[in-house]
Amino acid sequence: MTGAPAAAGTALAALFSAATSYLPTGVLRALAGGVPVDPDRETPQSWRDFVRERTGELAPLYMTDGRDVVFSPFEEGYDPGNPVDRAIHATRTAVFPSHGIDPSL
């Protein structure tokens, strides 16, 4: 990988690695294994501090922040007003082409 896409992909990977290092191992195992995480579970203070330092925004106090959990595949539509969709789009745009994958797929 070379150029801006490579740098963006590396930066995103580093951010993800740093962010996940603040989560308890049990939460990481559950998320990776597809096991539901208690929506009323409080997010770790260290993770909230990391989010605040990194983004200047407050992180949710609880796993769902009192919201209903709804999953909609990215492939069903990109919402530029949704910060998660923007992050997914930025990652796909930065990383996919260097692996021969069309980011619009």
pTM of the model: 0.49
CA proximity to 23, closest of 40, 37, 8, 9: 37
What 3-state class would DSSP assign to 35? coil
Q: Say what the pLDDT of residue 39 is.
A: 81
Instruction: Determine the Cα–Cα distance for residues 92 and 79; give it in Å rounded to an integer.
Output: 14
pLDDT digits (tens, 9 = 90+) for 28-43: 677 677 777 788 888 8
